[in-house]
Structure 1
Amino acid sequence: MSTGVGTGMRPEYKESGTYAASPNHGTKKQYAKTALASAVSAATLLAVCAGVPTALAANESDVAASDTTSQPQLVASYDFTGGSTKDTTGHYDITLQGGAKVEKYGDRNNNEALSLRGGSQYAQLPDSLFADLGNSFTMEFTAKSRHDDDRHHFTFAVGKDKSKYLAYYMSTTNFRMIISDNMWNNEHGIGYTDVSNNNNIWHNWKLAVDGTKMAVYRDGQLVGFNPDTTLTVSDIGNTVAYIGKSPYGSDDKNWDGAMDDIRFYKGADINISEPQSVSLSGEGVVDGKLTLPVDETAKLTATVSPEDAYDTSVQWKSSDPNVVTVDNGTLTAVAPGVATITATTKLGGKSASVAVTVKDLDDATRAQVDLDKAISQVKTTTSENLPLVAHGKHNTSITWKSANEQLISGTKTDYKAPAVGAADPFEGAGVVTRPAYGKGNAKTTLTATVTAGDVTRSKDIEVTVLEHTRAVPDGAYAAVTFLSDAASDGGKVGEALYESATDGNNFFSFSQINNGNPVIVSKSDTKGLRDPYVLKSKDGDKFYMIATDLKVSSQGWGQNQQYGSLKIEAWESTDMVNWVRTNAEDGDFGIKVNDDNAGMTWAPEAFWDDSLGAYVVFFSTREYTDNTRTEATTGKNGYAYNELRYVITRDFRTFTEPTVQWQDTGYSRIDSTVFKIGDYYYRLTKNEESGAAGEYIKTGKSTFLERSKVLTAPTTQTSPNNDPETSWQLLDEKILPFEGPEAIKLNAGDPNQNAKGDAMVIMADSSGYQPYMTSESDIASHNWNNRLSLTEGWHTQKVAGPGVTGYVFDNGMPTPKRHGAFVNVPAAVATNMHRWSAENPTTIDAVDSTTTVIADGQQITATVAAADKGTVAGNVVFSADGWSETVALNEQGVATAMLPASLAGKKVAVHAAYDGYTDGLVKASESSLEVSVPDKGDSGNTEQPGKDDGAQTDPSDPAGSHDAGKDDAQAGDGDHAFDGHGSGAQAGAQSQSEFGPLASTGSVVAVVVVAMVALAGVGIAMQLLRKRVR
């Protein structure tokens, strides 16, 4: 058996430039040029043969020249050095009027600048400047304004007079830029726009005008834009230009401010994204239509593309408000009829519409409305189980049929709810079985049938199920936390989400990412984010994050518990830094999951429930007697108390309703987290009472531990005597201090891992996360009569390490420290987190791979392995002596091919090239191996390559571990110097990732031959040149 190993990317060679044949005769100068061109062509040929990319210098200069002409060209410049107002280009000098002067400014390092202090002071620019600039120009300057927002001055203006002008206004609080051909009656442009930190403070400004487009930038950021002012500079006639004076003359004041480093350019580079399209979506919208019963409401969302368009705001309109009204996307059905709801972008006028039919609520309407809602909730592309609900809002039943039950399950007609815990709201439907990684996506058709009384309605929807993504072992950790209760803390947002990641595979090595700035800041709902929780999807290929929609700094704790948000905020990501809202199609908003009579929705967390095929999302809340939330339900201590409730989701976009009571003992409790060991779910929860909470929990404001085999089993009393088969059994109290408990299992290879490989860290937020080390086996083996918290030294702080139990020092824990969550991640995720920033976003690098080739008789086997030990998919292309075959990798990363009979008896170089996969997550690699193919009558053993004596390779011999590859024509040994991997590589198995195709003997010989021919050509050319020149 012969072997070989190769790594890295296979190079690709591309020709650039064109080459013209030289003439065969001409003058001496022409002939000299011809000979020189021949020499250059020979050298170029040699370079190409050696794999060195080349390009013609002439082509490069042509490109450079064309690039330069497309950029704005400097026309005038003023730096006021030495008090001069001359244009440094020598053409358009400034004239000072009314006592204006150039002064030094201490707040600008004593640089000199144009100083205008109102009154009659201004500076005049030559009329010819704007006549030469034309309809496209850019003005850059550094300035500060001392002028109040009186709206009766201009900082800069050009035009005829007060009837026609282009002008820029800047005060201490705002700016505007406009153009008009009829005084103030026809001003178009950028209206008054507030800017912060502008009072007597220097900023860099850029005004850009390109035809009818207008843009204003401050400190490099776009702060104003109008795509079509309808007017150009030529429309305003004359080009009289002032700095500090208004075209309205004495009707306005002169500007009070200073300006420096003024530059004018001919041309403007306004590359601003504008809306190209808008689409409408919403619950119940199917094929651009929506049916609503009278008096019901619905929410439409306008999605503007591209999402980075400068202005994505829209205006809403109903064609018939007597049928349906619209208020910022919220529809209210008024009376039976049909109306069209239209959303139009304010910028660009792009629009989209939905036809709304309003009907009385009879059986046909109930069936249609619930059918539309059910269909609209199904994503047409999915990697998760689907929320195929079994019952509609209007008391309808829904059954689902699948054209491929092996891909997506339909409704189980014999479904029966369990005796304890939540019933499956999908009754068996929507369970997705994804194709294996590398097998490609698959499609099927689902049919929903809704029944309301004697009426049925059906509709089909095609769904694409995404294949599994590659599985990668965890080799690091990530954390997400928030900073503080303050609106601003040390100049940073207090109630926002911050992230940290470990330095490698050591849990106690967290450091902050994104330069210490938050990764997510809320701009909607309460505009506060707290208590984040992050978890992996059930298949481990993406992360979900949910957080409390709460801004404590805007109202007191009492108000926040009584009139707090009923929403959670939810995102998903594949890399822990690029987050997208799970309900992004609904806008930049949270998702209402709580009941109308609830006072708050705090510390949401989630856990996968196998029995439901869904995630259970639970949160702390307070119940009120009605929807006004004026009178709270009282607990056993006679006052309002907090409990925990849950909802069910499969996509973190759609949630079951109403909420279900999960923990209500009459005593206040908050902040549950769940983990699983074996068949048991374990739950850590904070006792929110100041003292005892019943017979067994005696310590207030601390964390207790319970277990159950049923995640959704209700808890009405806390006791160690509860049966964990059907309820939650108390195991321990005061196991952790204070609140926000979390738990995480340590990765294999973590230096703190124990001998059993089941080490855990459990922790709670008490002025930052306080970690306790334990293990799955320790937690599983302890109970109320043998409490872990009473283990000797449990609450004594010590150094973390393998086998350590109890409280350990918090060195290397995340910052900021407040209530958050922890998650195991692949090493590449943490590496990318550390280099990522909002200003310089990055993505995870593709991982290196190696391809190992072995030969056994006519059978060739290639094994592809990823450096991170994750799974691989894709194809291997085998080739040898004119033969090639493409073979897909199996789930073990192995591909096998048989050499054709035409190669029997030959010694050939077999090449195996892995080209990566369509997802681009693993780099390509390749390997070559010299194989002596047995004759048809041979036993099938392969001659060891490089051995002229025909000696056989031992099949049990590790790949290339002995002298394979040493032959009379090659120097070197089995260390395979070319691939950089040392031992284990068969000499003759070539890596092309860094050294290219020249790493094979045949290629080297080819290059030498071509080089000799090229040099000979140069010599002949030079000889002819000498003869002709003489």
Structure 2
Amino acid sequence: MTSPTTRRRRSTALGLIAALAATGLTSTGLAGLGGPATAVEPDPSLIASFNFDDAATGLVGAGAKATVQGSLSLVEGQDGTTAVKITRGNWLDVTKDDGTPLLAGLDDITISYDRNPTDSSANAGWALIAQRSNQTNVYQQEHYVGVLDKATSLVVERYDNAGARDSSGNLSAGALTPGWKHVDLVLDGPAARLYVDGDLKATNTTGKALSTILGASGGVLQIGKADWTASDEYFDGLIDNVEVRDQALTETQVAQLNAAQALAKVPDELTIEASSYVLPGAEGVVSWTSQTPAVSIDADGRTATVTRPAPGSPATTGTLIAQVSIDGEPRTKRVAVTITAPLTAEQMARDALDGIVLPGLQDVRSSLALPTTGAHDLPITWTSSAPSVISPTALGEAAPGVVTRPGQDQVVTLTATVGTLTRTFSAVVRAAVAAPETTDYLFAHFTGVEQTPQDEQIYFATSEDGDTWTDTRTNGNPVLRNDEGDRGVRDPYLVRSPEGDTFYLIATDLNIHLRGGWGNAGATDTGSLKLAVWKSTDLVNWGEPELVDVASQIPGAGMAWAPEAIWDPVKKQYLVYWATKSQDTNTLGDWVNVYYATTRDFETFSDPVKWIDRDHSIIDTTVIKIGDWYYRASGDGQITIEKSKNLYATTTSATAPAYVSDDQWSLVGTLSSIFGDPNFSGARLEGPEFFEYNDDDRNAPDQRLWGLLADEYWNGSGYFPFRTTDVAATNAPPWVNAKSSVNFGALKKRHGTILPITRGELDAVKAATAQPGLLVDDTPPTVQVSIDPVARTATIASNDTGSGVASVEYSLDGDTWEYYTGPVVLGDDTGTLGWRVVDRLGNQASGEQAFAGLEALSGPAPAIAGSARVGSSLTAVLGAWSPAPTSVTYQWLRAGRPIAGATGGSYRIVPADAGRRLSVTVTGSRAGYASTRRTSTPTAIVAPGRLTTGTVQVKGRAAPGRTLVAVVRRWGPAPVTVAYQWLRDGKVVRGAKATGYRVKRVDRGHRLSVRVTVTKAGYVAVTKVSRVVRVRRPAAQ
């Protein structure tokens, strides 16, 4: 006899599979799933369903809702739709639509979801947890079912503990491959089954029933968070397609469900560009057949052997059939397939040539990175019109592209050849400059203690002797700012090019404050794998920061921190080194090691190489070259100093090794051993930084002097300075403690860099930083084109008040671009003159002028009226033209680039404009005259807007077990984003970042308030704290 429970589960499974057919598959060509779509009933067992396809509907479904706590983002998922990205400190609370517990009274459930974790650290990975309450768990008193889901393992913990931890109901799955996986967890009273990608991984029958674990209240269900005190008890990664059913599906039903979902995820169309191709779909679940003669399916049912068209021929098309088995019946889906032809040799050569990118050719000051291998692994050879200026082949150990700057500016033509095809590039090589005579110093650093976003930006200080420092700005007024990536910057390092007139500033892309503070940051596991890079030719005009990827090719990389760089005069390249955490590549002890890559332009980097692997974490390393020796100091548990004549030698050793040879790194000593003082160990110091004092600041004229700074992090006091006349010395003296003689100024300087500079550079930095705003030149040059109708010539006048004009080019009627050296002769049939002007930081102005006759309209550049602040409006003021144009068009520009849709006479400033300069181009036209274009002088840097400050109040009864609610009103302009932080006696209540706060017994006798931070892109963030409410102590008994 069939039990009622079994009958219900059977009908439920058929219902859910039919629902999948109707809602997810009928439009994609699925055949035979449960009859016509109109006859299908919704799946009655679903009590929650979240597909995260959009913010409006993706967080509700099947009678349940997921409420965001903190901030989450929707990103590209596995199946081409979207997934929710969860990071530490952020999660989802799942309830019924009416806010009541979703799982109340249930013992039999099935939870299904797709996931892709990115953090495998000790306690991270809490994908889902159902627990008795949202109070902090107490060891051996836990009451929850939690899924601890990591990249390579998965554990289900089922606890109903009372003084001891009973793990008999737990399940686990190990040896998983990283990436997307589908998980099904079935709870059937005391029994449980765990599936990964449809495979049964674990079962047991000795757990406690769910209703017993959750208690009478029904508990809470959270996605992405467990209520423990540790800061890493969250989930980091992507989750998608979360479903909860109020039935314990059988093994057969789970298999049917997975099969239907696997078929639904098969794409409608495929393009095959190889002769052997593994078709999509879950292995062992989806199999394939072919209705296309050009495609045959191997015995495994997934691998296609393809006969492609002849090279260069048109693509062919056909049909493949994907199939699964559901309830013993085949279910199929027709997939259109396009089979492309292989490229011809000429097409591959063209790909290789088109893929060459040589940045900065308009202003060449140092060696170029000329690639020798292109697309399709084809070799690239080079010729140069001036081999003595730009070498087309290797020079000794140096790769092609070595630049030897001439006595005056010179245009050099480079020609790349692949097979029989060629491509030419024109490079403007600047005249050599004299070696700088440095007498002063520039200190780049970040500051503060992560209390505001502005702490983790770039500040400058200056000194004339390397000992007494003067801040150029007050705290909160950085000279450079990173608004992309992690929206902060730490650990800056300044490097001057060997030629002397190019500067790079590289730094960590990180903002701990915006990540919620160190306790919630997860910065070593989910940090940026990019470095922030600025470029300048004068230290006062810097380009926009570029985020360059250096660490993504390191398996399991979690961050890229504390970069520095040193020039290799033999290979004519920079060695850039930084710290990355990676368990996958680690050999010894802690997972944080130092890696390096090489570059010539800080845009194109070699593959990363692990450089230092220690037992202890090693984050900060600094290198200096003295004679033939390289010396480096590292924070590896000590401040360890090593030396080697081979910069590229790698080290895998528990501590710095003893001397083996000149070509290996070997121990010189540690600051503790040199001074005989344990207070100089890594327990108190980190972030070592080498620099050399200028000649005029030496102790003796013929005795070189070096400084070594270390951050005294243990007490937060900032940098601790040391000096030596012999870096290789193992005792003191010549090493000396210089703390009493160095004054670092008012701002706390953290993990920075000292660069010797000239007196002229010092004066320029002081003058530039005395003015408000960032030292960023994001404004293109101004250009004026004038026509001489008698001489039939065009003159291009350009100016750039920032970094200066690097090159001016022109083209007649869309033909070859030529460098402008003087008036351009216009032929009788010339129709258009194109021009482009680039400054030294790559900002470009360009335009085209048409000729109708050769007399052009003339008029001044327009002026701009209005305040350059987000939310304000600007108006273009045309001025007097001669003759007057009959039509005028407008184009507003952001940092010299057109703003889409901004083509009226006025423009309202939007958040994307913050930190940029705006300008407007007007084009005047009149019949019988050449149209003329004029561009205004850019505005001041657009300031952030000012939010209207509203109110924040705490509503509710301040008693244990009751919920207080923060009410925010009248902030604007809407919409704004509000972040909440509850405070107890003015101090942060850890984890209390939601709108509501459930009062606890520990709050008795204390004052509660809520701090709100209101933000809106392009506006200054505003923080406001509510009035306090007091939680009274219980009356004395």
TM-score, normalised via structure 1 length:
0.39
Question: Which of the pair has the greater relative contact order for Cα pairs under 8 Å at 6+ separation?
Answer: 1
Greater C-alpha radius of gyration: 1
